[in-house]
């Protein structure tokens, strides 16, 4: 079993996609973000939560045990950034996307190497669902944790 210490995780952002984009009504995702911005040098933590709504199919014939099947899948992401108010950085990009309700694409890889079987890209179409631009005490590191609500299909791409 291979192990990994996350030291160079890559997170790309963009508003356009080549190929079949992740998102609503796109069952087979392929391609990549066009005109990407790499925010890796501002990111401290990335959390990707993939989930499924389990549906209860329990009957009297199940012998006193719950019987469930997977239903709709979803995801949400939170990324902790070192806050930056300069042009084209964290506040300008994600604050504006939050206010405008802009659909964005994220491509997150374990390392900054090329996408492949041992370095998959997790790709999402999402909206900024939470944006608290300032929220620290005097003397603290200026940080912001941005929440992203994933919409439609997301994928794990290896090529």
The answer to whether 105 touches 123, Cβ cutoff 8 Å, is yes
Contacts of 60 (CB under 8 A, 6+ apart): none
> How many structural domains does the chain have?
1
For residue 58, is it within any domain? no
For residue 4, is it within any domain? no
> What whole-number percentage of the chain has pLDDT above 70?
99
For residue 44, is it within any domain? yes
For residue 3, is it within any domain? no
Q: What is the pLDDT of residue 26?
A: 84
Give the residue-averaged pLDDT of 128-135. 95
What CA–CA distance (Å, rounded) separates 96 from 107? 19
Which pLDDT tens digit goes with each residue over 44-58?
999 999 999 999 999
For the cut 60, the answer to whether the pLDDT of residue 1 exceeds it is no
For the cut 70, the answer to whether the pLDDT of residue 72 exceeds it is yes
Which pLDDT tens digit goes with each residue over 149-159?
999 999 999 99
Q: What is the pLDDT of residue 27?
A: 83
**Nearest CA-CA partner of 84 in 20, 134, 136:** 134
The CATH number linked to 74 is: 2.30.110
Q: What is the pLDDT of residue 134?
A: 93
Average pLDDT, the chain: 94
* Cα separation values, 4 from 1, 51, 62, Å: 10, 23, 42
Given phi > 0 = left and psi -120 to 50 = alpha, else beta, which region is 47? beta
Q: 40 phi and psi, to 5 degrees?
A: -55, -35
Domain extent, residue 46, equals 10-24+31-52+70-157
For residue 17, is it within any domain? yes
pTM (global) more than 0.85: yes
For residue 59, is it within any domain? no
């Amino acid at each position: 079993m291979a192990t990994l210490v996350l030291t160079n995780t890559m997170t790309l952002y963009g508003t356009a996609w080549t190929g079949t984009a992740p998102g609503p009504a796109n069952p087979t995702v392929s391609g990549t973000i066009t005109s990407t911005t790499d925010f890796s040098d501002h990111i401290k933590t990335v959390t990707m939560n993939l989930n499924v709504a389990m549906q209860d199919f329990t009957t009297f014939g199940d012998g006193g045990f719950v019987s469930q099947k997977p239903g709709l899948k979803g995801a949400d992401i939170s990324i902790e950034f070192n806050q930056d108010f300069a042009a084209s950085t964290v506040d300008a990009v994600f604050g504006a996307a939050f206010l405008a309700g802009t659909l964005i694409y994220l491509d997150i890889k374990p390392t900054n190497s090329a996408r492949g079987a041992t370095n998959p890209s997790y790709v999402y179409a999402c909206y900024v669902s939470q944006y608290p631009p300032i929220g620290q005490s005097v003397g603290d590191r200026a940080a912001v944790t941005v929440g992203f609500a994933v919409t439609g299909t997301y994928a794990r791409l290896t090529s």
